[in-house]
Amino acid sequence: MNQKVEFEVEEEEEERSRIPISERPEWADVRPLPQDDGPNPVVPIAYSDEFSETMDFFRAVYLADERSARALELTQEAIFLNSGNYTVWQFRRLILEALSVDLREELEFIDQIAKNNTKNYQIWHHRRWVAEKLGSNVASNELQFTGEIFSQDAKNYHAWSHRQWVLQTLGGWDDELAYCDELLQNDIFNNSAWNQRYFVVTKSPRLGGLEVTRDSEVAYAIKAILTKPENESPWRYLRGLYKNDVNSIANDPRVASVCVDVLTNEKECAHALNMVLDLLCNHYQPSIELKNAIDALSDNSDLELAKKVCSVLQLVDPMRANYWEWRKTTVPARD
Amino acid sequence: MEEEDPAANKINRLTLAYCVISGLDILHALDRVDKESVINWVLSLQAHPKNEGTLENGQFYGFHGSRSSQFQSNDSGASTPNGSHLASTYCALAILKSVGYDLSRIDAELLLKSMKNLQQPNGCFMPIHTGGETDLRFVFCAAAICSMFKNWSGMDWEKAKEYIISCQSYDGGFGLIPGSESHGGATYCAVASLKLMGFIDEDALSKNARCHCINVPLLLEWGLQKQAVDGGSQGRSNKPTDTCYAFWIEGVLRILRADKFINKKALRESLLTCQSKYCGFSKFPRLLPDIYHSYYGFCAFSLLKEPALNSLSVELGLTDVAAIGLQSFGL
């Protein structure tokens, strides 16, 4: 209780301690420019006095193209009030260049505001601009920064985009596959980590490309499937390793084998049945084990195997029953 | 739009206005809107070059998102700072069409010619000419703008198509940029753009359909798989469902003529759990509603053919009535 009261008192003190810009001597020579909302504005916004004043002064320095230290400070205040304003960010970049500011300090500034704004496009864009100027020296810093974001939100889309950009532009690939593994050990359902894994095995200059990494990655995916067969991610990843070419998938006996294993043990796995259906529609010749696994799930012994799989899918995946019914109609005729 | 200071969204005032106006349009409630005032306000956000007929090098002459990026020209005669934004331009034109404004009254040539300045060598678009993040959202805005003007001189659509294709992920969905995780919003932008550009056939699911540029069967399965156990739509695999993805994902499937495969009853029930007692929709059940999720909730219900709602032109993000321009104004 006491702590809460203390915190509230602190906040009030902070508000009282802000000196309006119009009362600051260093701004005495500047005439603030008010916003002209025009007649009958739609969705009018109720601005705070602090916000209005800050933007009025910003407008003044922006139109005067004043690229000074005080203007830089003002952009910081404007950003704290609204971190989504393109114009303010763009002008800040012009000032940073004009004043040749040490951009490592700027990175620290971004660290500060990014903490509570991890989904703001403008902040991430600004960070990329700064990192690009600083070059490959900051690669590990950027990887660490995104890693910190992921420790709070392992699927933050902006952070993943930034991380991919860092790897491609500044480097730092060496430990990335291991990092993906670490995230997947924490949460094997993390689709962002699976996507990153695909990014690494296809794009990393260190690993030799998909042709070289495919074999071990298939084993990795299969292990994940056997751990949690209901997890969509490794099934899609597995197909992706073969670039969704069903012929190539069919030629790898491990794929049909994992389907048999899953269907024998889990029985109602839609992803496994889906994989089997795609194989059969591509004229894959099923093993006895696979036929038996399907037969065990189906009452209807008259249907041919692919259509039988569709019927089972309608039962185990009723959300998509209409789709599996349609798939029945597109099963190619038997040779 | 999670409980933010409304001033923080003011750069997106046009976006808010678009959600409101188009939302009212879906609800057959545009008679409550002072259309003339809306038109005047939107037009006042348009960027114009200092000298008519001369395009300042590299600038985009669209619409600003709000007054905060729009500046009155100063007396020194220096060029007016121009912060017009591609997404704001899309919203502005969508609003104007929704209230029945005749877009031929706008100088489309100027807008479109300058819009080409925003297209990158790889086909993608940036949002403002001074630079910004480039991704599929802005490809969609550009395509929708061209479509609304029925004039494709504003973009190199072959290049745009190549960029879109490069965003299709190994799992069939589309990421915002190449290599990114497939995402409902990004996938909508990709598929809607391709549809607007004419690269997706009416019957996209048939074997003979001419949309070989992307992997349609894989996209179809990815989209359908996004309907989760609670009946709602996920934006990405293994993430919670969220009201707005009902529109993005359902919209994609509608464009592919595959919405017949959605479990509509389950989707409807899931959406209703996000309907607030104050009306409108929230992101998740039991949260307060917001304009964004309310708008996309109405869009989703329109696609579900909820009675009393206007039908949607899915790929444009407007009602059919607005898209075709059936309203009259000022007659």
Confidence (pLDDT) at A233: 98
C-alpha distance from B234 to closest chain A C-alpha (Å): 12
Output the tens digit of pLDDT for each of chain B's 331 residues. 233 344 444 447 889 999 999 999 999 999 999 999 999 999 999 998 877 555 667 889 999 887 766 666 554 444 556 788 999 999 999 999 999 999 999 999 999 999 999 999 999 999 998 888 899 999 999 999 999 999 999 999 999 999 999 999 999 999 999 999 999 999 999 999 999 999 998 888 887 666 668 999 999 999 999 999 999 999 999 999 999 999 999 999 999 999 999 999 999 999 999 998 888 898 889 888 888 899 999 999 999 999 999 999 999 999 998 888 765 443 3
Show the domain range for B191.
13-69+82-324
Cβ–Cβ gap B180/A157 under 8 Å: yes
Give the tokens for residue A69. 């230290």
Confidence (pLDDT) at B327: 58
In-domain check, residue A310: no
Cβ–Cβ gap A81/B85 under 8 Å: no
- A314 touches A324 (CB < 8 A): yes
Residue A140 CB burial class (10 angstroms; 0-12, 13-18, ≥19): middle
In-domain check, residue B7: no
Give B 273-312 residues with CB within 8 A of chain A.
Answer: none
User: Which residues of A belong to the active site?
Assistant: 119
Confidence (pLDDT) at A11: 46
Instruction: Output the pTM of the full model.
Output: 0.91
Nearest to B133 among A46, A87, A125 (CB): A125
Confidence (pLDDT) at A192: 98
> Is B166 an interface residue toward A (CB < 8 Å)?
no
Spans of chain A below 70 pLDDT: 1-16, 37-44, 334-335
Confidence (pLDDT) at B10: 40
Domain count, chain A: 1
- B239 touches B226 (CB < 8 A): no
In-domain check, residue A55: yes
Going from the C-alpha of B124 to that of each of A39, A199, A244, B141, B316, the distances in angstroms are: 36, 20, 26, 11, 19
- B38 touches B44 (CB < 8 A): no
In-domain check, residue A149: no
C-alpha distance from B309 to closest chain A C-alpha (Å): 23
By C-alpha distance, which of B43, B98, B91 is closest to B329? B98
Phi and psi, residue B75, nearest 5° = -75, -15
In-domain check, residue A163: no
> Is B181 an interface residue toward A (CB < 8 Å)?
yes
Determine the Cα–Cα distance for residues B206 and B210; give it in Å rounded to an integer: 9
In-domain check, residue B196: yes
Domain count, chain B: 1
Outline where chain B has alpha helix (H).
13-26, 35-44, 86-98, 108-115, 136-149, 157-166, 184-196, 216-225, 243-255, 264-272, 291-303, 320-324
The CATH code of the domain that includes B52 is 1.50.10.20
> Scanning every residue of chain B, which has its alpha carbon at the shortest distance from the alpha carbon of A233?
B237
In-domain check, residue A282: no
In-domain check, residue A136: no
State ipTM.
0.91
**Measured between beta carbons, which residues in chain A are less than 8 angstroms from residue B10?**
45, 47, 82
In-domain check, residue A31: yes
In-domain check, residue A93: yes
Other CB atoms within a 10 A radius of the CB of residue A133 amount to 13
Show the domain range for A75.
20-36+45-101
The helix/strand/coil state of B313 is strand
In-domain check, residue B3: no
In-domain check, residue B96: yes
DSSP state of B327: -
In-domain check, residue B75: no
Confidence (pLDDT) at B76: 46
